[in-house]
Amino acid sequence: MVEFASISLDVVIRDAMKTIRLIMPSNIQLREQLDDGEVNVYGNATQLHQILLNLFSNACQAMDANGGTLTVITRPLKREALPEGYKEMADTDYVEIVVADTGCGMSREVQAQIFNPFFTTKDIGEGTGLGLSVVKNILINHGGFIRVESELERGSRFCIYLPVTASPASVAAAVQEAAGRDAPRAEILLIDDEERVVKYLKKRLERKGYHVDGYTKPEEALNEIISRPDRWNVVIMDHMMPQYKGTVLAQRIKKLKPSMGMIMITGW
């Protein structure tokens, strides 16, 4: 069951930005213009987080070739200020979240299909075509909507609209947030067959204060987990490695230690 509560939008957005910062390639800049008014939305934090990460990762993929800027903007919107065609249905004030990139952009023809399940222009293994259809469904369940503006070679701008709620952020959400703040730091085991990727990610994660042990040989990492199962609580691994498929490796690690957190890096 999906639980809804009044949650602070700022907390969800900052949390999602923290995640994308960790995995973003270094040729992409992240810019934020977050409204400093306290805005709460009635929703599910996990799903809102998922929306943002889907949009962020699409933006990063669109800028894969040449790098660029990912911009995140929020601003409150009075009902009357909603785009034509939407304000007629609205009965409260909204908040607008813009996720903009300076990447490859989309033709009109592509734009018309992006919310269809399984529509993708990416190679096998890089895209499932499900991201935006999930985003759209989650938004519908939240009484929100999404709109896109894009031009080939210029970039894309996804605008999300969510109804705001006057109720204060729920105690449960606040407790969760506090728990997150005080939670023990992740002890990370990093596995990627490319040494330079291991070095790069290790450096970035360590700069954020995490403790990271890196391995380029999945077998070696597995043996380490067997001999020291309590040493790490999170594994970050490459999805595609010559010796191992990430999914196979993940299953073996889960068997060894079911509580291990797992992050798989794919595509870029």
Ligand X SMILES: Nc1ncnc2c1ncn2[C@@H]1O[C@H](COP(=O)(O)OP(=O)(O)O)[C@@H](O)[C@H]1O
CB 32, min distance to ligand X, A: 17
Residue 58 contacts ligand X per CB under 6 A: yes
Q: State the Cα–Cα distance between residues 31 and 103, nearest whole angstrom.
A: 15
Q: State the Cα–Cα distance between residues 80 and 2, nearest whole angstrom.
A: 31
Residue 43 contacts ligand X per CB under 6 A: no
Torsion sign across C-alpha atoms 239, 245, 247, 253: negative
- Stretch (H or E) spanning 148: strand 145-151
Q: State the Cα–Cα distance between residues 253 and 193, nearest whole angstrom.
A: 17
Report the SS3 class of residue 88: coil
Residues 118-177 that bind ligand X (CB under 6 A): 119-122, 127-133, 156
The residue (of 37 and 125) whose beta carbon lies closer to ligand X is 125
The residue (of 48 and 212) whose beta carbon lies closer to ligand X is 48
CB 54, min distance to Mg ion, A: 6
The residue (of 96 and 212) whose beta carbon lies closer to ligand X is 96
Residue 4 contacts ligand X per CB under 6 A: no
Report the SS3 class of residue 57: helix
The residue (of 133 and 233) whose beta carbon lies closer to ligand X is 133
Q: Are 203 and 196 in contact (CB under 8 A)?
A: no
Closest residue to ligand X, judged by C-beta, is: 131
Q: Which residues bind ligand X (CB under 6 A)?
A: 54, 58-59, 62, 101, 103-106, 110, 114, 119-122, 127-133, 156
